[in-house]
Chains A and B, each alone.
Chain A
Amino acid sequence: MSRRQFLKQSSLFSLGILAYPMCGNALEFGSKKDVIIGHNSHRYKVDMNWGNLDAQKTPVKDCHEMVQDSKGRIVLLTNHTKNNIIIYDKSGKLITTWGTNYPGAHGLTLVKENGEDFLLITDYDRHQVIKTTIDGKVIFEIDYPADTGKYNNKQAFKPTETTVLENGDFYVADGYGNQYITHYNHKGELLNIFGGRGTENGQFLNAHGICYDNRDKKNASLLISAREMNVLKRFDLKGNYVESIPVPGALICRPVIHKNDIYFAVLKSKNAPNSDSGFLLIMNEKNEVVSCPGATLPEYKNNTLEELYQTVRLFQHPHDVCVDDDENMYVAQWNSGQTYPIKLTRV
């Protein structure tokens, strides 16, 4: 090797050394090890700093639910009445906020109508379902279904979630109230009611979440979580019970369908000594649990899923997940000390 060649190489080498610190810790050696949670096809790195805002200006109480709107923005619903809706971009930068009169803001569903975005908000404190435009103008409000005779008064109706069909029909799950599922047309007129509190196949304890499942186009159905029972139940669109999918140990919140998979926040592990024992859960197109970020590896023995439980104290009480168009996930938490959502980057 000539001296010149040597110099050339060594100068590039030292340049490389100099360049490393400029790129942050990407190439740093040492004990640092990024947390990777999840199993099989669904593994994630964790960004706890995503979406953190000035709590004096833009506070949160419980972060209940999140959706991604048609513009790709991340919409968060909190029960803090200074700003019930917080809209972020995917990098966690605040875009805008609105909403000051949703003290029991709980369920958030995106409705797309003729190219325009709307939101369905359930408020268990106001005992109402409210449809708004994406920037907060109220379209209609729905009170308890008095005519059905299933409710003695307004207070018994504490809706937790909604889901919308292609034709605009929507369903409301009364997960904190009398546990009925009500079916409305796009104008908000009542069509049907089913479910109710109980342990029968067609009944619920804590019907916390509901989701329209059209993965099988010929056989569209409803997935409804019975959180207290650690079961996901399937109904046809007329309200007939079809099947139960047990998730032992997991207090599942609402099902969120993204492509062919179903994603859940799990509020807590049934038999953990600590209450803040939540994790996440992902099912594949066959409704088999394939990954549990923050919890045990899902294993089936004799076709039965082994009890799932939190293994690392990362999540506190995850309450909803939102999967964006990059396959990354956002986690909203209940009762976590007023923390902002967590972003997970799929690896």
Chain B
Amino acid sequence: MELGSNVSYKINACMRFIKILCAIIFILFSCKEQPQIDFLQQNSIRLAQPRVIANKTFIESFVTIEANLKVENVIIHYTSNGDEPSLKSSKYKQPIQVSNPGVYKFKAFHRDWKPSEVTSLTLFKKGISADTILWHTKASEKYKGQGDNTVINQTKAGLNFTDNQWLGFDTTAIATVKFKEKTHVKSITISYLNDVSSWIFPPESIIIFVNNDTKKEDIIKPLSQIIDKKNETINIPIGAKIKSIKIQVNNLQSIPEWHEGKGQKAWLFMDEFIFN
């Protein structure tokens, strides 16, 4: 009885060993037959930038801003002081009303995806209305916006260069703006499109003529690489009482070496002249 059970124990132990061995071999083989694919991980991919839309970009009393990124469980945070939003910044819950000009920044966060890049929105104080504009050079037939007044209609353009709030030039742009009466103008802000993948570059230089005075303002140093498209502005101080002002915006004469259009003239797209 005792001997018998000993033998059966040994057989059992042996069987168990074989079973385990078979199991290991099976697992090893099944691993080999179905190689694991290293699928892309969520925490390595960034969310897209939130979409931010303001009902106006020139503030008279207040402006309503809507931010959105249609992703489940996404959270958008924003700042109104130009700082990069963090999880500690104000949380966007519904359209916000603002009355101060400045830079509003929005950023999307998610528990699984990497946070987005920042979407910036610049709001301007409603400027002094210009009365007329006379163009000495003409916008391209294809990109003539809403006509001559496009840059003084107090309406900004979207980021798409086909938006009809853009005036597009492949030459220097020269215009004279007149006011109804002599007005004190502190500064002019020229708003332009930076979309180098579409051959639309910031201006090379801007020259302002007021009251027989010439004021030259050179633009930011040339770009060194393709960046995401942006609506940018340059502010030039005037500080004079004027009835009219002549503005000459020079398009980039030679696209830099790194760009596919190197050596050729760049496009210049402007949506607004803002007088304060």
Contact = CB atoms under 8 A, between A and B. Distances in A.
A245 to B, nearest CB: 21
| 3 A-B pairs with least C-beta separation | A24-B36, A46-B40, A34-B39
B23 interface: yes
Given A271-B51, A311-B48, 13 more contacts: A12-B20, A26-B36, A32-B41, A34-B40, A34-B41, A270-B160, A271-B159, A273-B49, A296-B70, A309-B48, A311-B71, A314-B40, A314-B45
Q: Which of B28, B37, B112, B119 has the most CB atoms of chain A within a 10 A radius of its CB? A: B37
Interface stretch (A15-23, A63-71, A218-226, A234-242): A15-23
Interface in A6-37: 8, 11-12, 15, 19, 22-26, 31-35
B211 interface: no
A55 interface: no
A22 B35 CA distance: 11
Interface of B: 16, 20, 23-24, 27-28, 30-31, 36-43, 45-49, 51, 69-71, 112-113, 119, 158-160, 197, 226, 228-230
A313 B159 contact: no
A248 to B, nearest CB: 13
A45 B39 contact: yes
A272 B112 CA distance: 22
Contacts, number: 97
Nearest to A22: B31
B228 A273 contact: yes
21 contacts: A15-B20, A22-B28, A23-B27, A26-B36, A31-B43, A34-B40, A35-B40, A47-B39, A48-B40, A271-B159, A271-B160, A273-B49, A273-B228, A273-B229, A274-B228, A275-B228, A297-B70, A309-B51, A310-B48, A312-B46, A314-B45
Contacts of B45: 35, 312-314
A275 B48 CA distance: 12
Contacts of A309: 48, 51, 70
B27 to A, nearest CB: 5
Contacts of A273: 49, 119, 159, 228-230
A49 interface: yes
B42 A34 contact: yes
A201 interface: no
Contact of A19 (B27, B40, B229): B27
Nearest to A50: B37
Contacts of B49: 272-274
B48 to A, nearest CB: 5
Contacts of B36: 23-26
Contacts of B159: 271, 273
A345 interface: yes
A15 B228 CA distance: 53
A225 B51 CA distance: 26
Interface string A250-287: 00000000000000000000111111010000000000
A272 B159 CA distance: 8
Interface in A113-154: none
A313 B45 CA distance: 6
Contacts of B37: 45, 47, 49, 345
A174 to B, nearest CB: 21
A15 B113 CA distance: 35
Nearest to B23: A15
Contact of B16 (A8, A271, A312, A314): A8
B38 A47 contact: yes
Interface string A287-324: 00000000011000000000001111110000000000
Contacts of B160: 270-271
B32 to A, nearest CB: 10
Contacts of A24: 31, 36
A22 B27 contact: yes
Contacts of B41: 32-35
Nearest to A313: B46
A309 B16 CA distance: 59
A275 B197 contact: yes
B37 to A, nearest CB: 5
Nearest to A48: B40
Given A273-B228, A273-B230, A274-B49, A45 B20 contact: no
A311 B159 CA distance: 18
B242 to A, nearest CB: 36
A180 B42 CA distance: 43
Contacts of A46: 39-40
A164 B222 CA distance: 49
A271 B231 CA distance: 13
B143 to A, nearest CB: 15
A297 B51 CA distance: 15
Nearest to B38: A49
B191 to A, nearest CB: 16
A11 B13 CA distance: 12
A79 to B, nearest CB: 14
Given A8-B16, A45-B40, A313 B48 contact: yes
Nearest to A314: B45
A53 to B, nearest CB: 17
Nearest to A25: B36
A8 B112 CA distance: 40
Nearest to A46: B40
Contacts of B229: 273-275
Nearest to A277: B48
